Amino acid sequence: MIAYELLTGQMPYDLRQKMIHEAVRVIREEEPRTLSTINRTFRGDVEIIVGKALMKEKTLRYQSASDLAGDIERYLGDEPIEARPPSTWYQLSKFSRRNKALVTGVAAVLVVSVAGALISINFALGEAEQKRIALNAAEEARIAQEAAELAQAEEAKRAEELQQVADFQSEQLGQIEVESMGIQLRDSIIEGAPEDLREALADSLASVNFTNIALGTLEANIFERTIGAIDTQFADQPLVQAQMLQTTASTLRELGLLDLATDPQTRALSIRRAELGDDHPGTLRSISDLGLLLRSQGNTTEAELYLRQALEGRRRVLGNEHRDTHYSVNELGLLLWQQGRLGDQSKLAEGEAYLRESLEGSRRVLGDDHPETLTSIGNLGALLLAQGKVAESEPYFRETLEGMRRDRGDDHPGTLTSISNLGMLLRAQGKLADAELYFREAREGRRRVLGDDHPDTLNIINWMGKHFFERGKFGEAESYYLEALEARRRVLGDDHPATMISTSELGVLFYTQGMFDEAERYFREVLEISLRVYGDDNLETMTAISNMISVLDQQDKWFESEELRRLRVDLARRAEPKDDSRLGSELVQLGLNLLAQDRPIDAEPVLAECLEVRRRVLPEGHWLIWTTQSLLGETLAKQSRFEEAEALLVEAAEQIRPPDASLIRRDEAIQRVIDLYTAWHAVDPAGGHDAEAARWRARLPGGD
């Protein structure tokens, strides 16, 4: 670089008004201006020698000072330099310089003497100057090369130092133990009190959850400041900044601080995509972690897009046997399981296939006792249990719990999950007392380790409510359900699927106890959220509609439930693929609703359509066809169209009989015939209709 400046009076790079790190970047990334662009005198060997000394790639530069000196000596001796390929013309030009007398004599014969003289003068004038410059250039090129190497070494050292900072931050965040912090905080408070008051103070603090206090302190005083420091201190190091943001986001997600995790997670992904591209392992990590965060926030649809993208990228870039690929397979399987639990049963089989693939890969690559393998074992067991495969799931649950207790201890979150899962297995086996013991152990462990508001803690609290509900202990069930609902509203929000589950289960609890006003309030809230979040044509929404209809009908609120029944009919008409059986069921329920409101004229076309649909899709003579015909006859009888009604009602009552139909359905059809003749007799006493009513009444149990 100094040789360049001596030759031209300029630097090869424009470094004016640039900071050191920017000057290093220019030297590393930009090409120097060639000597001949400044002074054409330097075209040729001098330009090539200096240019090679300034090459950025080490393999293209002179490998030592002696190599550089050798090329300069060759230049001064008019020998071919090694800095460029020895072409024929180049070799001849060097030969002419070493043997000027001979070449000049031959040239005198071939060319005019004036041209030869001009050439000789040109060489004489330029050669002395170039030789003088070349002597200086050799030394300066060596200095420039050493300076460039020093700059690169400084840059590498700086990058290594920044990476060490990022690794240190990752290690420190990964070692956060909220429970230990809470214990230390509690002990510090007690130890700070006068000795004679410590025992009383300890008793008064027994009900305080210091894990929650520690978590709140971390959120306000550590994580928010950490994110701010990352933004200001590493703004010019985007990859280090992205790594720190990613580590912070992952820690926040694991601690259940989901809202605070959103910003650093999305920015980490954005930076890595811009700097590294979509297929870099670091970018794939951020894509996967954003999917996990969205899943935790209840946005399963968007989460699926990111988790599938991460899996596809890892299969393509890392291969099917890579540990990260197995991790992605496992997480996608868990998401599909979650979607299946929310109503889309088709997702369960697909989720099982992914979880089996993940488990097989983890056993093969990591071994049976590795924590990730144990987690995969437990996940597969939980999915099998969700599909009702109770016996098949049990060995998976027991293997996981045994391994987790042995390798990670009783208080590890993974161990606590295994304890909870085994409780659910025992519950499914009807061993409710044993299940309760495991649920309580998991609940207390999660309160202690994760805090009261962690999503996993709230999950086990809600499960405790379900457990006591199924045992008929409604008071205890209500207490747990309300605790879970209140916390989920605060932590996750009203629209989160977990919050909606708690709300719905409280409604079921009150409905079961005949407290229909209370049940209606909770069912209505779930329905309104489902319609807004999922839309009307969704399994979760359909369940909410059914619950709402049931509680309205129990209160004889027929007009309100009619609107919902008409919505269900409309959804059945729009169903793809077409499902006439479903349409028939919805039509008959709407018809019954209208009859309950004493609106036979409105009920008639609904039930007539239902009868047409059922005759089309059901086998001839099916009892549902006769039941629908009987209901249609009832609408005609209530309109005093007795003769039309008689034909339908009598035929249906004759055809509805056990074992195809229940005794209840047969007796209902007979009662409609009795009601027909009774009403007919009232307007036509002389028609003998009372006798017909008596004859049919005798066919009912105890109707002699």
The 10s digit of each residue's pLDDT in 502-551 is: 999 999 999 999 999 999 999 999 999 999 988 888 878 999 999 999 99
> In the predicted model, what is the mean pLDDT of residues 38-42?
71
- Which residues are CB-contacts of 284 (< 8 A; sequence separation ≥ 6)? 278, 310, 313, 314, 317, 318, 324
The amino acid present at 553, given as its one-letter code, is D
pLDDT(185) > 70: no
**What is the signed CA dihedral for 554, 557, 559, 561, rounded to 10 degrees?**
-40
Question: Between the ranges 91-105, 211-225, 357-371, where is the mean pLDDT highest?
Answer: 357-371
| Sign of the dihedral through C-alpha 286, 288, 290, 292 | negative
**How high is the pLDDT of residue 182?**
66
For the stretch 125-170, pLDDT in tens is 355 455 555 556 565 566 656 666 665 666 555 556 555 555 655 5
**How high is the pLDDT of residue 110?**
34
**How high is the pLDDT of residue 704?**
58
Identify whether the C-beta of residue 545 lies closer than 8 Å to the C-beta of residue 569. no
> In the predicted model, what is the mean pLDDT of residues 402-418?
93
Q: What average pLDDT does the structure give for the chain?
A: 83
Identify whether the C-beta of residue 371 lies closer than 8 Å to the C-beta of residue 414. yes
pLDDT(19) > 60: no
**How high is the pLDDT of residue 46?**
75
Copy the structure tokens of residue 558: 């027929």
> In the predicted model, what is the mean pLDDT of residues 183-196?
73
For residue 704, what are the CA distances in angstroms to 558, 589, 664?
35, 32, 18
pLDDT(446) > 80: yes
pLDDT(599) > 90: yes
pLDDT(334) > 50: yes
pLDDT(296) > 70: yes
pLDDT(487) > 60: yes
Confidence at 119, pLDDT banded by 50, 70, 90: very low
DSSP labels, 484-514: HHHHHHHHT-TTSHHHHHHHHHHHHHHHHTT
Instruction: Give 25 or 622, the one with higher predicted confidence.
Output: 622
**How high is the pLDDT of residue 401?**
95
**How high is the pLDDT of residue 231?**
83
Confidence at 51, pLDDT banded by 50, 70, 90: confident
**How high is the pLDDT of residue 124?**
44
pLDDT(81) > 70: yes
**How high is the pLDDT of residue 100?**
54
For the stretch 637-667, pLDDT in tens is 999 999 999 999 999 999 998 888 889 999 9
Percent of the chain residues past pLDDT 70, beyond the cut: 77
Instruction: Give 447 or 185, the one with higher predicted confidence.
Output: 447
Q: What is the DSSP letter of 142?
A: H
**How high is the pLDDT of residue 509?**
98
Measure the CA–CA gap between 496 and 33, rounded to whole angstroms: 61
**How high is the pLDDT of residue 85?**
47
> In the predicted model, what is the mean pLDDT of residues 315-333?
93
Measure the CA–CA gap between 558 and 537, rounded to whole angstroms: 23
Helix H segments across 297-343? Answer: 300-317, 323-341
**How high is the pLDDT of residue 125?**
37
> In the predicted model, what is the mean pLDDT of residues 184-210?
72
pLDDT(696) > 80: yes
Instruction: Give 220 or 171, the one with higher predicted confidence.
Output: 220
Confidence at 284, pLDDT banded by 50, 70, 90: very high
For the stretch 385-398, pLDDT in tens is 988 899 999 999 99
> If you compute the radius of gyration of the chain from its CA atoms, what whole number of angstroms results?
42
**How high is the pLDDT of residue 8?**
66
For residue 646, what are the CA distances in angstroms to 349, 405, 591, 669?
51, 73, 19, 12
Instruction: Give 200 or 469, the one with higher predicted confidence.
Output: 469
Confidence at 342, pLDDT banded by 50, 70, 90: low
For the stretch 228-271, pLDDT in tens is 888 887 888 899 889 889 988 998 888 888 888 999 999 999 99
Chain centroid, CA 175 distance in Å: 24
Confidence at 123, pLDDT banded by 50, 70, 90: very low
**How high is the pLDDT of residue 69?**
72
Q: Which of 36-45, 580-589, 596-605, 625-634 has the lowest mean pLDDT?
A: 36-45
Q: Which of 167-171, 176-180, 558-562, 690-694 has the lowest mean pLDDT?
A: 167-171
Confidence at 28, pLDDT banded by 50, 70, 90: low
Percent of the chain residues past pLDDT 90, beyond the cut: 53
